[in-house]
């Protein structure tokens, strides 16, 4: 049996950094990964998908060249092999960087293999048994494939496998109208594919307020993407070298060349032997953790997507920061102190922080709301990108900003002014006295705050 100070299972955006902190202190650690270092972000998520988004935007801007007085002779052609190669290069650069960094640490052992608990503090991997007083789970999540009729009879794509495409689909049907599905829908439309989005619920991006969801749908429809909501009868059948997709009575059959199923993700916790260790999970398989990310078993922690406390790279990394601060730096940090923030990377992007309007209304607070269309933002007009709007929600009594949504040009960057202010506890009247740089999108934040009205 091999003994360590700490064992890490999974190498996403939490474990490698916490393992490195411990190794730097001279602790003996084992980092076990069944496939690739870096987790979803590096290998099948943020990095490759945002590289693809960049290629798609380049095509979109090139097609709009005439709007800016830039004439491009001939049509715009997309070389999907080059597109895929760019994404692959980004993946491999990041993955190899992690391999070199972690491999150079004297007290860290990187082990490739499937780990499984054989007891509360013992792990079996590659025929060996490892033990440590502290064990950290960072095993991530994978796509959910619902039991649609006929789904097993077709070669469907997931958010992981679609990254390997080096040919352009004739007609891509995206099943799932949330963040992952919408990014791929717009991306492949800009590459030149016909695209249809099917959403079983009444709205796209259903987590958002209805005005945001409607504006997102407007953006996609404006680019020629077909959208069907309330598609509650989805079924598939192989047909004439393609895929026949039905979406309920009274709606047309769709002839697809490719189908992407993007209906959510589930944690990779079903093959770890957590029951043997006595680690508690909820009904969906997420590992139950306390406010400091420890499970019900002393010394076993769950970080990242598998704990159900956040499904983003930045929340996973923050899990590392919380545990590292508490275990190594003598701090007292908690997950409940984290203000939720995220982005949807369609173009224009959506930046979000804090509560939505519907959440604020349900809270019983006295709230104030202000909105401003991007058509009344100078920077947006100068760039010729005026879709979307800005929205801020505040507490009328405490003067604290409760949440914001910025759907528009550079919304994913502009939102950070609000994120920082909320984390600092700055009141909105104080923010109104900021002197922002002109011409920017961010300069409108004090203006939007000045237009807050009670609801």
- C-beta of residue 311 within 8 angstroms of C-beta of residue 303: no
What residues contact 420, with CB distance under 8 A and at least 6 apart?
Answer: none
Angle 62-64-67 (CA atoms, 0-180°, nearest 5)? 130
Instruction: Dump strand ranges (E) for 69-213.
Output: 108-112, 116-119, 122-125, 128-131, 134-137, 141-143, 171-175, 194-198
| C-alpha of 273 from chain center | 27
Q: Cα(143)–Cα(179) distance, rounded to whole angstroms? A: 13
Strands 128-131 and 134-137: unpaired
Nearest Cα neighbor of 137 from 252, 333, 289 is 289
Element (H, E) at 186: helix 179-191
What letter would DSSP give residue 306?
G
Q: Is 438 a catalytic residue?
A: yes
The alpha carbon torsion through 434, 440, 442, 444 (nearest 10 deg) reads 80
Nearest Cα neighbor of 286 from 318, 309, 262 is 309
Catalytic residue among 171, 314, 416, 438: 438
- C-beta of residue 393 within 8 angstroms of C-beta of residue 368: yes
Looking at the annotation, which residues are catalytic? 438
């Amino acid at each position: 049996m091999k003994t360590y100070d700490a064992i890490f299972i999974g190498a996403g955006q939490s474990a490698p950094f916490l393992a490195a902190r411990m190794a730097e202190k001279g602790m003996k650690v084992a980092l076990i990964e069944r496939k690739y270092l870096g987790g979803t972000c590096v290998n099948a998520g943020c990095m490759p998908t945002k590289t693809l988004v960049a290629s798609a935007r380049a095509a979109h801007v090139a097609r709009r060249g005439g709007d800016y007085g830039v004439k491009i002779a001939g049509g715009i052609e997309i070389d999907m092999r080059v597109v895929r190669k760019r994404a692959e290069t980004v993946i491999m650069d990041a993955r190899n960087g992690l391999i070199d960094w972690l491999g150079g640490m004297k007290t860290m052992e990187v082990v490739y293999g499937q780990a499984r608990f054989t007891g509360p503090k013992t792990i079996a991997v590659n025929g060996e048994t490892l033990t440590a007083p502290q064990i950290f789970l960072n095993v991530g999540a994978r796509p959910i494939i619902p039991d649609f009729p006929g789904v097993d009879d077709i070669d469907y794509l997931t958010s992981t496998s679609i990254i390997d495409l080096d040919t352009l689909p004739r007609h891509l049907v995206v099943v799932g109208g949330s963040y992952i599905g919408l990014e791929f829908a717009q991306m492949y439309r800009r590459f030149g594919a016909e695209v249809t989005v099917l959403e079983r619920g009444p709205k796209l991006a259903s987590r958002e307020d209805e005005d945001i969801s409607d504006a997102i749908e407007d953006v996609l429809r404006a680019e020629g993407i077909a959208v069907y909501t309330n598609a509650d009868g989805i079924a598939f059948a192989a047909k004439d070298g393609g895929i026949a997709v039905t979406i309920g009575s009274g709606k047309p059959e769709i002839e697809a060349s490719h189908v992407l199923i993007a209906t959510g993700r589930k944690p990779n916790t079903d093959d770890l032997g957590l029951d043997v260790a006595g680690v508690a999970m909820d009904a969906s398989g997420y590992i139950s953790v306390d406010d400091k990310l420890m499970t019900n078993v002393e010394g076993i922690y769950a970080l990242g997507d598998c704990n159900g406390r956040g499904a983003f790279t930045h929340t996973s990394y923050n899990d590392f920061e919380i545990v590292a601060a508490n275990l190594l730096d003598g701090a007292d940090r908690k997950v409940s102190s984290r203000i939720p923030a995220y982005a949807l990377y369609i173009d224009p992007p959506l930046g979000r922080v804090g509560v939505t309007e519907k959440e604020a209304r349900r809270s019983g607070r006295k709230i104030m709301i202000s909105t401003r269309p991007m058509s009344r933002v100078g920077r947006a007009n100068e760039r010729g990108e005026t879709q979307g709007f800005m929205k801020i929600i505040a507490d009328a009594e405490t003067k604290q900003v409760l949440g914001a949504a910025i759907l528009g040009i550079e919304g994913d960057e502009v939102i950070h002014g609000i994120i920082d202010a909320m984390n600092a506890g700055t009141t909105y009247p104080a923010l109104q006295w900021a002197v922002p740089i002109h011409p920017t999108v961010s300069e409108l934040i004090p203006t939007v705050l000045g237009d807050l009205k009670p609801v």
